[in-house]
Each structure stands twice: as C-alpha cells, then as structure tokens.
Amino acid sequence: MTSICVLGLGYIGLPTASIFATKGRAVLGVDVVPAVVETINRGRIHIQEPDLDVLVRAAVQSGNLHAAGLPGPAETFIIAVPTPFVVAADGARRPDLGFVEAAARSLAPVVAAGNLIVLESTSPVGTTEKVKAWVEAELARLGRVVPGLLYAHCPERILPGQMLKELIANDRIVGGLTPEASARAKALYETFCTAQIFVTDARTAELAKLTENAFRDVNIAFANELSMICDKLGVDVWELIRLANRHPRVKILQPGPGVGGHCIAVDPWFIVDAAPAESRLLRTAREVNDAKPAHVLARIRAQAPRGAAIACLGLSFKANVDDLRESPALAIATQLAAEGYRVLAVEPNIRALPLGLVGRAELLDLPTALARAELVALLVDHRAFAALRRADLGGKPLVDTRGMIT
C-alpha cells in the first residue's frame, strides 16, 4: 500500500518523493507529463540538481518510488505543483492556482477516511482552505462521503543548487487547518527533516513563505537601486557596498542583472494581489528588480553599436545552475539578439541554446567568445568565470553586472 503520494515531480516534488522513498516509505510520484513519469521510472531525472540523480536512482532501485500519471490510494498526499501568476488586462499579477486546483480535484476518487493532504506549493493566503473546498466539491460530485480528511500547508524553503542539503537541514513551518492536521504533518516531515519543525495555522504558514521571498526581493531591490544610482553618479557600487557593510548593522546584498527564478520574482506578487493598498514597498521592489535588465541593456547599447559581437557570460537565472526560467540574463541576451547584436553566449551549465536563441545566437566556450567579442557582458557569477580578469579582455569594454571581474 502506498504510504505517500506526491503530486508534481518537479524541483520540489521529485527530491521530496525520493527522500521519503529512501527512508523506507512506499511513494507514488504523480506527474501529468508522460515523459517525466517514464524518465523517473527508469531511475533517471529530467532536471539538474547536484546529487539528485543519485538520490532518485536509489529511490527507484529500492522499489519504494514509482511514478504514474494519476494518483492512487495513499495515507498522505503532498501537492507540489507550480503556482505561477498571470498578468491581467489591467497589468495586475494574479496567482494562477489552476495546477493546484486540478491536483486537489484529482484526489477525490482515491482519498480515504483520515488521509492527510499537504499543500507544499508556494501559495497565496487561503489556498489550503481552497484545496479543502475543491476536494470536497469533487467528492460531492462523485457522491463520495469521506470523513476526517486533514489538510495542512508545509512550504518548502530549499535553495536551488543545494536542495538536498537544505531539504534535510532547513527548519520548516507546518500549518494545519486543524491542530490534528498540524500534528500529522509535523510527524510526516520528521521522517527526514533533522531541523526544527514549527507549528502554526495554515494562513500564517502560507504568508510566512511569501514573506521570506518578499524580504529577499526587497533587499535585492535595494542593492539594484543602489547600482543604478552609482552608475549615474560615477561611483563603484561594489566598493560602496563593501565599505557600507563594514557597519555592524548593515548587510547589503549584491546587485545583479535583475531577479530571476520562479520564486522570488513571483511570490511577492501574491501578497501585493491580496493587499494592494498596503503592499507599496513590495510592489516597488518588484518593479525596481524587473527594471534592472533594461538598465543593463542601456549600458551595453551605450558602449557597442548594433551588429557588434557581445559575449554574454551566463544565461541561467543565478550562479552554477542550469535553470533558465525567468532568467534576466537570458532576457538580456534575447533582447540583444532581437536588436541585431551578435550574441556569443557562454553558459557552461547547458549543452544547447534555449529555443528562443536557436539560430539567433551562438553557444561558445569562454576563450572563443572572448576572442571574438567586441564587448563582454558578465551576466551570471558562475564559478567558471571566477578566474577571469580585466587584463584578459584586451581592453574590450566590459559590462559587469555582478562585480566579478577585477
């Protein structure tokens, strides 16, 4: 009998399902994409994350992890599907809970009395209550009566690039719709989490996760705004931050080409959408970070005429990952190509250009790109670029969005 059914085998669901399986639980992983199901059942992975391949292979080979297209009966269900936003006609960003709703409704045919349903997806306040309403609506439609279902939110906090370490070692927050649900969810995560698990209610747990990412977004926006002020005033922002951070109570983050990924650039909007009049700082931070790629593009245009060859060092959304989703570096490279620049992309973490750049850019190694470039744009602070020095650039103009090249 399956112990845990995990819906969504992406960046969160796959490591979570695998770790439960390696702890001896019988896990059914569910994904709507057949290729993902097939890949995982072969013990392979469809995403890049250090050591995840080893974990998934161990989980599948132990016989404890199996993937399928539909959920089956289990004691516990974990929903780990995407929660993106959609841009409404008036420009507002609204959460798209379509994947969560579909996952919740898909449970109705298989849930049994006393089952626990955990929402892990980062979600707007009130979503766990909605999950309950969707399951109940679908049960009613099927004419099923299933007493004692328990619901909880348990957001993940793991950092892409060091997920497996953080999955085990990060403190967690669990918020049930009832104290019994919280207690069951806490016991569930104690299976593998070696850190503290704090219990609260579902709405606080939902807002806590959004708050963590909004906090980081606001702090990165501060750094990005400083970098734009410094460009205007002719001050070296890296030197400035280094010095200001010598104050015992100042800890400024690092500017970059913008904020990417599927978390920090998304989650604050769920707060802004729910409390627009009160979320002035959060909205402005999002706007500042979203405006940074345009600032970087303006600096490149000012130093290189159209048609020039631009070495774009890094395409991913942050250092040392292959994840191109919502990447400001990719957006900058794509825009340069659209404007007629010759884009020489250097991205050591991918083997082929993303579709949007195919035929419009070249994927090169670092020495070749540097040799052919007329301007060098350092967009991602990958380890692979750490040894690069200004002296290696032969006097070519440099736009260093990460303050990496000295």
Q: Which of positions 5-64 make contact with ligand SAJ (CB under 6 A)?
A: none
Which x/- pattern over 264-303 shows residues binding ligand SAJ (rule: CB under 6 A)? x---------------------------------------
Query: Minimal distance in Å, beta carbon 377 to ligand SAJ?
Result: 15
Is there a catalytic annotation at residue 230? Answer: no
Please identify which of the residues 5, 193, 263, 312 carries the catalytic annotation.
263
In the complex, the smallest distance separating the C-beta of residue 260 from ligand SAJ, rounded to whole angstroms, is 4
> Which residues in 146-165 contact ligand SAJ (CB under 6 A)?
156-160
| C-alpha pair distances (Å), 192 with each of 22, 49, 169, 170, 202 | 9, 19, 9, 11, 21
**Residue carrying structure tokens 């609506």:** 137
**Judging by DSSP bridges, how do beta strands 309-313 and 375-378 pair with one another?**
parallel
* Residue 261 in contact with ligand SAJ, rule: CB under 6 A: yes
For residue 276, what are the CA distances in angstroms to 31, 140, 270, 283? 34, 35, 10, 8
Q: Which stretch binds ligand SAJ (CB under 6 A): 136-144, 257-265, 366-374, 383-391?
A: 257-265
Smallest gap from Cβ 200 to ligand SAJ, in A, equals: 18
Tell me: does residue 330 bind ligand SAJ (CB under 6 A).
no
Q: Which of 209, 292, 312, 318 is catalytic?
A: 209
Residues 120-149 that bind ligand SAJ (CB under 6 A): 122
Q: Which of 368-382 are b and which e, b meaning 16 or more Cβ less than 10 Å from the residue's Cβ? A: ebbeebbbbbbbbbb
- Please answer whether residues 62 and 51 qualify as being in contact, where contact means their C-beta atoms are separated by less than 8 angstroms: no
Which listed residue (29, 71, 95, 256) binds ligand SAJ by CB under 6 A?
256
CB of 177 to ligand SAJ, least distance (A): 22
Q: Residue 115 or 316: which CB sits closer to ligand SAJ?
A: 316
Spatial distance between the Cα atoms of 156 and 121, rounded to a whole number of angstroms: 8
Neighbours of 43 (CB within 10 A): 14
Q: Which sign, positive or negative, has the C-alpha torsion 163, 168, 172, 174? A: positive
Residue whose CB is less far from ligand SAJ, 22 or 170: 170
Are 195 and 170 contacting, i.e. CB atoms less than 8 angstroms apart? Answer: yes
Is 312 among the residues known to form the active site?
no
| Total residues in contact with ligand SAJ, by rule CB under 6 A | 20
Residues in the chain: 406
Question: Is-contact 17 27, C-beta < 8 A?
Answer: yes
- Part of the chain binding ligand SAJ (CB under 6 A), chosen from 22-30, 146-154, 210-218, 296-304: 210-218
CA–CA separation, 273 and 285 (whole Å): 14
Positions touching ligand SAJ (CB under 6 A) are 122, 156-160, 212-213, 216, 220, 253-254, 256, 259-261, 263-264, 317-318
Residue numbers annotated as active site: 209, 263
